[in-house]
Structure 1
């Protein structure tokens, strides 16, 4: 996690410089509640049946392969396709470096050659959340439109911008504004969580504020299920409270002996069969496998295939 935070912070510094460039101007339900019980029964009629009714394609968050992708993007993307994935979620784009040295058009062509799509991308919003300058968001929209995204996704918030409930209200306001801009390009904005959003501010949390103060017609959420569980929350509770807003999921498992580590889907401590039984309630239609670390003895490409096979054969 610390590596990811450092990476995003470094990218944020890059984005800050670009934002000043003229080129950017171009553009628990109660057991006594019969209704809640009925709702639960309706979606829990079998995880497999629910998953198959909602989810078809399995994606991979490419951050999983961050140690390999910058060195050989073409080879890595080919291996992702060979592992059985149909969709990829990007990370690390910059207007100068593109996607690991590939322009948006070149990356789109690479995806097409491997029969892949990219419906979502993680883009650094750190500087925008500080200064509100939408120029960098315009560049993300340009790139995402070329690649074929449906979602421009906020991946992480720096600690400096999220110290209070009022900070989260300001974040929600800026998120709405960026989402309005995305809408003009037929895109949607999504927000990806970690665990820090669940920290309490009085009788609320940062995540509660974001869910309540962003416009459901404009802003969607990508539920990182590992981080929801790590924060001590139950995904099903969120899905019931905010039905239909969690259009994307990050699916990564928690190591049984070291909860701060990830492991292959189906081998950890998260009950994914139960969670996938709530797919319709959540509103999910895109899932991305992600794994931020691997056992020393595990080949990462074997790992992503193992996780994909478990999702395909057991959860969908």
Structure 2
């Protein structure tokens, strides 16, 4: 059956996120080293969905207490029309603890200062935990790390953030090993500046980070990033959905030889480097070039009981990570937020 060409969903996601931020442009590591605010519209008070089959159990909750957040990009439609106040009020009702920003403006809801935004979050029991900012732009005045590092960090401090990062891939200089080494140098610079303020700099992946270097198809680019960035300066926010898309797309090198990897293994090898996670779900669809169709958390095939349990079982790591629910384009963003919280809170460890 012939297919109607569709826009690249990953590229579309990147561009729309950059637009919201106001940005104009937004094999293992060892092998690599060896080789080279307004009133809210009424929201229906529907009951929370029943837990997914097999998700409930007698064990302790999989999700550590106080660590459920949401990436506000998922609620950009509500933020830009209703404002932060009604959105935060809903998130408080749904049991969220934290929020991750994707911009600090609220569209037609009117202007808001960072001090007001921080206070508003606190008043609704929400802790601002991180924020996505562009990496670089051709515009010398753009609000990005490359063009406006001091302002980006000033704003993060004003909001009381402990993490500040970018959702842009390290493709600024290209897709070669040396290009990614140059990008790693940039990230080390941003990480050092952030650490001086008591903040952690992080990079959020999509699936392309797991592709192979243009000049060395035996090297996975994500391994270059890990090897060339200082682990005390540069941290990672694994978008679990996009990592599994990367597993599907890049399980073979360009010459066809197998190169399987497991996203969870990256985390278990260096858990301290992954303070943040994006929890989004996908329904497996091998006919899709990305291997999955994005769905609400709990409706897909990614085993979050297994993934979160494996991370939180690590000694001393149960409360060291933050889990941010996200959907790039939810059908109804409030419904997505409510259902995601209900599902994640329902998960119990196997006895």
Quickly name the TM-score band, shorter chain normalised.
Answer: 0.7 to 0.9
**Unmatched 5+ stretches in structure 1:** 16-27, 29-45
Residue of structure 1 equivalent to 2:209: 197
The corresponding residue for 1:275 is 307
Larger % of helix: which?
1
Matched residue, 1:141: 153
CA contact (8 A) 1:247 1:285 kept: yes
1:210 equivalent among 217, 225, 248: 225
Residues 87, 55 of structure 1: CA spacing in aligned structure 2 closer, same or farther, 3 A cutoff?
same
Q: Where does the alignment leave 5 or more consecutive residues of structure 2 unmatched?
A: 1-9, 28-56, 248-260
The number of aligned residues is: 280
Over the aligned positions, Cα root-mean-square deviation in angstroms equals 3.2
My pick for the range that moved more, 79-88 or 4-13, is 4-13
Aligned to 1:245: 273
Matches within 5 A, 1:22-171: 51=62, 56-73=66-83, 74-93=85-104, 101-127=111-137, 136-157=148-169, 159=171, 161-171=173-183
* Residue 158 to residue 276, structure 1, CA distance change in 2 (3 Å): closer
Shift of 1:193: 0.5
Residue range with higher mean Cα deviation, 151-160 or 247-256: 151-160
2:23 matched to 1:4?
no
Deviation at 1:168, TM superposition (A): 0.9
1:230 counterpart residue number: 245
Secondary structure of the corresponding residue to residue 81 of structure 2: coil
The one-character-per-residue Cα deviations of 1:194-236 (angstroms, maximum 9, x if unpaired) are 0000011222222111111111111111110001111114222
Offset of residue 63 of structure 1? 0.5
- For 1:39-76, what per-residue CA distance to the aligned partner results, in whole angstroms no more than 9, with x for missing partners? xxxxxxx9965845x55320000000112211222222
Alpha-carbon offset, residue 128 of structure 1: 8.9
Query: Secondary structure of the residue that 1:81 maps to in structure 2?
Result: helix
Matching residue of 2:193: 181
Match of 1:264 in 2: 296
1:290 to 320, 323, 326: 326
TM-score (norm 1): 0.78
Query: Could you tell me whether the CA contact under 8 Å between 1:154 and 1:191 is conserved in 2?
Result: yes
SS at match of 1:68: helix
| CA positional deviation for 1:155 | 1.0
Cα pair distance change 1:160/1:169, threshold 3 Å: closer
